[in-house]
């Protein structure tokens, strides 16, 4: 078994064994005004088409890839126990319910999503090599032809969310609860940029890349007031500027539809409620 697989198995086993301790700790405490929570899971995405604008002043290149198709790269569908936990498209949530009665929380919401410029015949318009003559042509965009463009170590959406929770159902013992969730927020994007255009490669790196806004809704099932599963659907709009390419910058914007499944834990906090 590989090192990554062993690390993943050990991590999951530790989390499972910690659950009884969390449950025991919660059952011995009075209800409190607030609640911290943390969750981890995986996601899949579908993207709108987008335009990728290229600006390379030293090369005299100012052009646009029109109506580009992009796709994700799940990773988790290739075998979760065969690689590190942070390699697939993952996400985490860290939040605090500051008003339990009204179901209001603040949340740090991060999605390690991946956006890949799909192999395709794409229309290129603009100017090349300092020529004053406009270009309108079709390019075979693929690695064998000297072209690739990845936000593959993350398109990386970070949002600061306000969360609203609505209680839907609870069994008489209170050991299982089902809630509906609504979330909305805004924040920066921190993509990892790797590309080659006409065979000219950039230096792959992470960077501050722009901003995004998102809304999210879903269901949350909580067991023993401690462990929960959360399934949500999310809509996000991200705008990227000044992305690093060879001797220049690129910019683009796209919308995302995302499906997310997380496993989480809650910890009571704040003043006791009598």
**For residue 24, what is the domain's CATH number?**
2.40.160.20
Residue 248 structural domain:
3-272
DSSP result, the chain? --HHHHHHHHHHHHHHHHHHHHHHHHHTS--EEEEEEEEEEEEEEEE--EEEEEEEGGGTEEEEEEEE-EE----GGG-GGGS-TTSSSEEEEEEEEEETTTTEEEEEEEE---EEE-SEEEEEEEE-TT-SS-EEEEEEESGGGT-EEEETT---EEEEEEEEEEEEEE-TTSSEEEEEEEEEEEEEE--EEEEEETTEE---EE---EEEEEEEEEEEEEETTTEEEEEEEEEEEEEEEEEEETTEEEEEEEEEEEEEEEEEEEEEEEEE--
Domain tally for the chain? Answer: 1
pLDDT tens-digit profile of 156-204?
999 999 999 999 999 998 899 999 999 999 999 999 999 999 999 999 9
pLDDT tens-digit profile of 19-55?
454 444 444 445 778 899 999 999 999 999 999 999 9
Note the pTM of the prediction, 2 decimals. 0.86
């Amino acid at each position: 078994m590989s090192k990554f697989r062993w690390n993943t198995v050990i991590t999951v086993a530790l989390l499972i064994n910690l659950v009884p301790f969390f449950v025991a700790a919660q059952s011995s405490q009075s209800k409190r005004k607030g609640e911290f929570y943390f969750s981890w899971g995986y996601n899949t995405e579908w993207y709108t088409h987008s335009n990728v604008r290229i600006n390379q002043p030293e090369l005299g290149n100012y052009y646009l890839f029109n109506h580009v198709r992009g796709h994700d790269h799940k990773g988790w569908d290739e075998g979760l126990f065969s690689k590190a936990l942070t390699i697939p498209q993952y996400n985490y949530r860290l939040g605090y319910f500051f008003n339990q009665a009204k179901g209001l929380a603040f949340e740090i919401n991060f999605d390690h999503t991946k956006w890949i410029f799909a192999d395709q015949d794409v229309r290129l318009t603009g100017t090349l090599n300092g020529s004053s003559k406009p270009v309108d042509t079709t390019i075979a965009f693929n690695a064998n032809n000297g072209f690739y463009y990845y936000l593959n170590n993350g398109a990386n959406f970070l949002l600061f969310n306000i969360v609203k929770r609505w209680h839907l159902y609870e069994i008489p013992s209170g050991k299982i609860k089902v809630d509906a969730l609504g979330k909305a927020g805004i924040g920066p994007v921190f993509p990892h940029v790797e590309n080659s255009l006409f065979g000219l490669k950039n230096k792959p790196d992470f960077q501050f890349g722009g901003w995004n806004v998102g809304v999210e809704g879903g269901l949350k099932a909580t067991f023993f007031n401690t462990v929960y599963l959360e399934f949500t659907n999310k809509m996000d709009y991200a705008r990227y500027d000044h992305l690093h390419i060879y001797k220049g910058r690129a910019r683009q914007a796209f919308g995302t539809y995302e499906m997310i499944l997380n496993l989480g834990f809650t910890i009571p906090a704040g003043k006791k409620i009598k």
